Amino acid sequence: MIKPHGSDTLNSLLITDNDKLQQLLTEAESLPSLLLNSAAAANAVMMGGGYFNPLKGYMNLADSLSVAENLHTQDGLFWPVPVVNLVKDVSAIEGASRIALRDPNTEGNPVMAIMNVTAIETVTDAQINGMAEQIFATLDLQHPGVATFTGLGNHLVSGDIQVLSLSYFQADFPDTFRTAGEIRDEIAQRGWKKVVAFQTRNPMHRAHEELCHMAMERLGADGVVVHMLLGKLKQGDIPASVREDCIRKMVELYFPANSVMVTGYGFDMLYAGPREALLHAVFRQNMGCTHLIVGRDHAGVGDYYGAFDAQTIFADKVPTDALEIEIFNADHTAFSKKLGRVVMMNEAEDHIKDDFILLSGTKVRQMLGDGIAPPPEFSRPEVAKILMDYYQLDSA
């Protein structure tokens, strides 16, 4: 199986030994505590689940600046996005060498990790903005990622962590949430060697379904891991539970048995386009996938990125020995009325725009809210039914 990123074996920071866990939970009650923001909590979940291998904790300022500027830590590890614990107020932990980190997304704010504090550093607004511009390619506060990152605070708390909880994800998504190690184990159990990862924060329509079929066929892959983002999205995005129902129905009806794993991970969407595509590649390698589908405007939002910036960054910015995972570059896929099937638009000769069935997200949401199913060439009727039920209930 493909090696994890940056190490020979996967480094999960989650404490799984029950005696050790209870010991640390008891210790945590006597430690100064810090209530994390959602972004820092998501980073803890990803480190706990082994997705951010080989990191052992939150980055310090020097590493954060280096990653934002140069795509690597000071010791040379390729990494695309700073993994930080930025906070507004550190008065409760000043002078502490060991602290409890509390979960902002679970009732009662239970302890989710214990941290050995290496440093508490002040980050200037200029440094915050400099990192944001490198990560998101803009400082426009209308960009949801920029607005979040620049509002986290100016104190950076760094150091190694021991993760005691993966927040609400295991309880709320017991059939879908998986750690990187659990996915690697299932890939091995299924006997898959060549494995394609498909990133999604949306329900999967015909175009997405066919893209997975294309990638498996062209790569000779044994299977595809549909990997859903289960954390926070922007307002208006479809909840994870609805997306999960859509995806599972599509897989059940339109894919061969033992060809798809439907899984999810606990992270907040960054909407960082090319930089987030690189991060997706890192943690898909960590979970055992050999290939990642990178499509048009991958992880983008609005018009902040070029349609294929998330593909070209791999060729332009990633050293040849930095990643073992390979990228399957995909164009926009759509149903061709001429050919009677879903195709990559750049592969359809003698086609004009009107030869494809293309619907905007706004138009699809309007149709679903009005109880009108999108055409079957765009969305499987069984998937459209789930979405119509959600939109009509949501608007009631």
Identify any residues that bridge with 163 across adjacent strands, giving them in sequence order: 14, 113
Per the listing, tokens 């990125």 go with: 305
Establish whether 201 is a catalytic residue.
yes
In angstroms, the CA 2 to CA 195 distance is 10
Of these residues, 98, 129, 154, 201, which one is catalytic?
201
What burial class does residue 325 get, using C-beta atoms within 10 Å of its C-beta: 0-12 exposed, 13-18 middle, 19+ buried?
Answer: buried
In angstroms, the CA 76 to CA 186 distance is 31
Per the listing, tokens 């066929």 go with: 217
Q: Where are the alpha helices (DSSP H) in the chain?
A: 18-28, 38-48, 61-70, 125-136, 144-149, 169-172, 180-190, 206-219, 240-254, 274-286, 309-317, 361-369, 381-395
In angstroms, the CA 126 to CA 39 distance is 20
Per the listing, tokens 């996915």 go with: 183
**Cβ partners under 8 Å of residue 103, min gap 6:** 36, 41, 109, 110, 111, 112, 165, 167, 168
Q: Is 58 helix (H, G, I), strand (E, B) or coil?
A: strand
Identify any residues that bridge with 111 across adjacent strands, giving them in sequence order: 102
Of these residues, 70, 116, 154, 202, which one is catalytic?
202
* Residue 64 tokens, joined: 């954060």
Establish whether 202 is a catalytic residue.
yes
What letter represents residue 68's amino acid?
A: A
One-character DSSP codes across 113-129:
EEEE--EEEE--HHHHH
Residues serving a catalytic function are: 201-202
